[in-house]
C-alpha cells in the first residue's frame, strides 16, 4: 500500500472531524516554503527568478513551527527552492516530526546523499524526490546533464537506509506517454513507496511559457498514461484526483486545502498564485476572496489549472462527503483499478515530440552560480 495505514487513519480522522464541525474550508496540507534558493534553474520554475536579496532570505525554524501550529493541517510539504540548502533544515524537520506531522521534504536529490546523515528514518518523514521522467527528459527539464543519475543514487541511498521515499513528477505539453509509463517501472524498481503526478502550471516568472498544459491536453495525456495501468504502479495520491486528471471526474478548486507559508507570509490564494499576503493563517482564511479563484470563477489565471495543490484536497473532501465518494476511493485503493481503455492503449502508439525538441528554455547553471547559491545558505 503506497500510504501507510497509520497516515491514512490520521488524515481520515482529521477530515471527519472537520466535516462533523461543519467546516466548509479547512487545510489538508501546509505548503511550507522555507526558502526560494535552489541549485538548479529549471525552465518551468517560477521560484528562483526572484532577485538575489530575496533568494538569500529564509524562514527560521521558529517561524516554521508557528505556521504549522497556526494551520493545524496533519501533513506538511516542504518545497522550495531546494530545502536541503537551508542551513537549519535538520532542526525544522525534527521539530515537525516531534509534532507528529507527516512531512514530505521535497528535493531534487542533488544534495541528498551529502545531507542524509542529518535525518533519522521515521514514519513521519518522507523524501519526495523531484523526478520529471526518464533520464533524457529529466535532465532536459531540470537543465542539468547527469541530474537523473545523481537523483537515482540519492533515492537508492535513502531507500537503503530505511527512509520513506516518493517521487514527484510534473508533466508538460509534449510529454511522451509511453516514456512516462516506462519511467513508472523504473521508479518502482528503485523501491520507492509511491509516485505523485501533476500537470505543469504557468508560473508568471518561469522562463518557458509555451509548454504548460491546458485542460483538454491534460486529460488526454493523463488518460493515456494512467489507463490500462500496471498493478505494480503505486501512487502516493488520492485515486480520485488521478481520475480527475484523466477526465473521469469534475472538481472545483479548493485552494485553502493546501495553503502556503513562505518568507513573505501566508500567500493568497494558493501555492501557484501570489495575489497578496496575510500575517496570520486566520487572516488568510477570512480575508481572501476565495470566490475569485478556481475554474468556476472565470479568473483567466485559473482557467487551465489542474494541479494537485488546487484539486487534490477537493478529491479528498469528496471521499468523505458521501458514501459514493468513500466507496469509489476504497474501490480504487484496494482493487487498484486497471481503467481498461482500448482507445487510450492505441493512442500510446502515437508519436510524441522528443524531449530535446520540446522547446523548453535551456538554462545553464554555471558552477560559480551554484556555488554562490550554496554560499548564500550561510548568510
Which of the pair, 307 or 336, is modelled with greater confidence?
307
Contact 73, 28 (CB under 8 A): yes
Backbone angles phi, psi at 104, to 5 degrees: -110, 105
Q: What is the pLDDT of residues 275-304, one digit of tens each?
A: 999 999 999 999 999 999 998 899 998 988
The strand pairing partners of 75, in sequence order, are: 29, 102
CB-based contacts of 281-289 (< 8 A; 24+ apart in sequence): 281/27, 281/67, 281/70, 281/71, 282/70, 284/259, 285/25, 285/256, 288/256
Per-residue pLDDT reduced to its tens digit, 75-97: 999 998 999 999 999 999 999 99
pLDDT at 361: 33
pLDDT of residue 356: 46
- Enumerate domains of the chain plus CATH numbers: 28-376 (3.80.30.10)
Q: Mean per-residue pLDDT for 336-345?
A: 86
Tens digits of residue pLDDT in 5-51: 999 999 999 999 999 999 999 999 999 999 999 988 777 676 777 88
What is the torsion angle, in degrees rounded to the nearest 10, for the CA atoms of residue 328, residue 333, residue 335 and residue 341? 70
Q: What CA–CA distance (Å, rounded) separates 57 from 78?
A: 16
Average of per-residue pLDDT across 243-251:
94
Tell me the average pLDDT across 214-242. 92
pLDDT-derived band at 336 (thresholds 50, 70, 90) equals low
**Interval 260-267 mean pLDDT:** 98
Over residues 195-213, the mean pLDDT reads 61
> Is the peptide bond prior to 269 cis by the omega test (within 30 degrees of 0)?
yes
Amino acid at each position: 500500500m503506497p500510504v501507510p495505514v497509520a497516515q491514512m487513519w490520521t488524515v481520515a480522522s482529521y477530515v471527519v472531524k472537520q466535516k462533523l464541525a461543519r467546516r466548509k474550508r479547512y487545510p489538508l496540507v501546509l505548503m511550507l516554503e522555507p526558502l526560494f534558493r535552489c541549485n538548479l534553474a529549471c525552465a518551468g520554475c517560477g521560484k528562483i527568478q526572484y532577485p538575489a536579496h530575496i533568494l538569500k532570505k529564509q524562514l527560521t525554524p521558529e517561524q516554521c513551527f508557528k505556521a504549522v501550529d497556526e494551520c493545524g493541517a496533519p501533513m506538511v510539504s516542504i518545497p522550495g527552492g531546494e530545502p536541503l540548502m537551508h542551513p537549519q533544515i535538520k532542526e525544522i524537520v525534527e521539530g515537525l516530526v516531534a509534532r507528529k506531522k507527516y512531512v514530505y521534504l521535497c528535493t531534487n536529490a542533488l544534495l541528498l546523499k551529502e545531507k542524509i546523515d542529518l535525518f533519522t528514518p521515521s514514519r513521519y518523514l518522507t523524501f519526495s524526490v523531484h523526478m520529471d521522467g526518464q533520464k533524457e527528459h529529466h535532465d532536459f527539464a531540470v537543465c542539468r546533464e547527469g541530474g537523473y543519475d545523481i537523483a537515482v543514487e540519492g533515492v537508492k541511498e535513502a531507500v537503503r537506509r530505511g527512509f520513506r521515499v516518493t517521487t514527484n513528477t510534473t508533466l508538460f505539453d509534449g510529454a511522451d506517454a509511453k516514456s512516462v509509463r516506462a519511467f513508472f517501472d523504473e521508479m518502482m524498481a528503485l523501491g520507492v513507496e509511491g509516485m505523485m503526478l501533476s500537470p505543469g502550471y504557468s508560473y508568471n516568472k518561469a522562463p518557458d511559457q509555451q509548454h504548460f498544459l491546458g485542460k483538454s491536453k491534460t486529460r488526454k495525456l493523463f488518460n493515456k498514461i494512467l489507463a490500462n495501468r500496471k498493478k505494480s504502479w503505486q501512487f502516493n495520491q488520492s485515486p480520485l484526483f488521478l481520475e480527475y486528471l484523466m477526465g473521469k471526474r469534475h472538481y472545483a478548486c479548493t485552494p485553502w486545502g493546501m495553503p502556503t507559508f513562505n518568507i513573505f507570509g501566508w500567500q493568497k490564494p494558493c501555492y501557484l498564485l501570489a495575489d497578496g499576503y496575510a500575517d496570520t493563517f486566520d487572516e488568510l482564511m477570512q480575508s481572501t476572496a476565495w470566490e475569485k479563484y478556481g475554474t468556476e470563477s472565470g479568473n483567466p489565471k485559473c482557467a487551465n489549472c489542474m494541479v494537485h495543490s488546487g484539486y487534490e484536497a477537493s478529491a479528498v473532501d469528496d471521499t468523505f462527503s458521501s458514501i459514493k465518494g468513500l466507496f469509489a476511493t476504497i474501490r480504487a485503493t484496494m482493487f487498484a483499478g486497471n481503467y481498461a481503455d482500448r482507445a487510450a492503449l492505441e493512442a500510446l502508439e502515437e508519436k510524441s515530440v522528443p524531449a530535446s525538441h520540446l522547446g523548453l528554455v535551456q538554462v545553464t547553471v554555471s558552477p560559480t552560480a551554484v556555488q554562490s547559491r550554496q554560499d548564500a545558505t550561510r548568510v
